[in-house]
Amino acid sequence: MQKFTVSFLGRDCPGVVSTVSGLLNECGCNILAATQSLLLGEFAGIFITAVEEGLSREALQDSLERGLKKASLDLSLIVRPTCEGIWGEGEACAPFVVSADGIDGKGQIAGISRVFSRHGVNIESLRAFLGEEDEKRALFVFEIMVPASVDIGRLRRELACEGQTHGLRVSVQHRDIFEAVNRIESI
């Protein structure tokens, strides 16, 4: 078996997951893992697939593109061999949640993520919540993995400094603490 990562990006519509998963099935792909998300009407889906040896990346891409055209779906498609292994595998890492909030402005995500990059921190998830036209508020939530070799105090200080540069208040919490504080329980 060989593995391919198949990514779809484009306009959302009812049935898009059904269509793309059906196309993958028709091409002989077994879906091993999948994620999908919507962002302001745009669909993004990533599928890790296993296929029989002998099906080339190019042949799979061609078949999927023909299927998308036949289904009249306006989606971009990328097919590539799946990378083996996971970032940080074998290295001790701790999960943290970093939130940054303030007035929306240019370069905020780039600035915060640049600090992570300098420290070898991997961003696993990023959500941006922006206010309406008249609100101009922004909230960014980064879920990150911090290698044990990183000085968390220094990381916090650099994030706070970068946040101030962009008018953001930055909070760094271990994921377990973040989830405990933000847990909603029924009464």
Report pLDDT digits (tens) over 81-128.
998 766 666 679 999 999 999 999 999 999 999 999 999 999 999 999
Picking from 97, 85, 111, 110, the residue whose alpha carbon sits closest to that of residue 146 is 97
- Contact (Cβ atoms closer than 8 angstroms) between residue 121 and residue 143: no
Mean pLDDT of 158-168: 97
Q: For the residues of 8-42, what is the DSSP string, one character each?
A: EEEE--TTHHHHHHHHHHHTTPEEEEEEEEEETTE
% residues pLDDT > 70 (the chain):
93
What class does CATH assign to 2-81? Answer: alpha beta
pLDDT tens-place string over residues 7-22: 999 999 999 999 999 9
pLDDT given at position 77: 97
**Residue 86, class by beta-carbon neighbours within 10 Å (0-12 exposed, 13-18 middle, 19+ buried)?**
exposed
pLDDT given at position 187: 62
Tell me the average pLDDT of the chain.
Answer: 91
Which residues lie across from 142 on neighbouring strands? 98, 126
pLDDT given at position 89: 65
Question: Edge-to-edge, what's the strand order for the sheet holding 93-103?
Answer: 122-130, 137-147, 93-103, 168-174
pLDDT given at position 184: 63
**Residue 100, class by beta-carbon neighbours within 10 Å (0-12 exposed, 13-18 middle, 19+ buried)?**
buried
Top pLDDT among 157 and 1 is at 157
For tokens 């971009």, the residue is 76
Top pLDDT among 131 and 46 is at 46
pLDDT given at position 133: 65
* pLDDT greater than 90 at residue 27: yes
Lowest-pLDDT range, 89-93, 101-105, 152-156, 173-177? 89-93
User: pLDDT band at 178, cuts 50/70/90?
Assistant: confident
Q: Report, in angstroms and rounded to the nearest whole number, the Rg of the chain calculated over CA atoms.
A: 20
pTM across the whole model: 0.78
% residues pLDDT > 90 (the chain):
80
Domain positions in the chain are 2-81, 93-181
Two domains, one topology: 2-81 and 93-181: yes
Tell me the backbone φ, ψ of residue 64, rounded to 5 degrees: -65, -40
Q: Length of the chain, please?
A: 187
CA angle at residue 57 from 52 to 61, to 5 degrees? Answer: 110
- The CATH superfamily assigned to 93-181 is ACT domain (3.30.70.260)
Question: Edge-to-edge, what's the strand order for the sheet holding 2-11?
Answer: 30-39, 42-51, 2-11, 75-81
Top pLDDT among 183 and 130 is at 130
* pLDDT greater than 70 at residue 74: yes
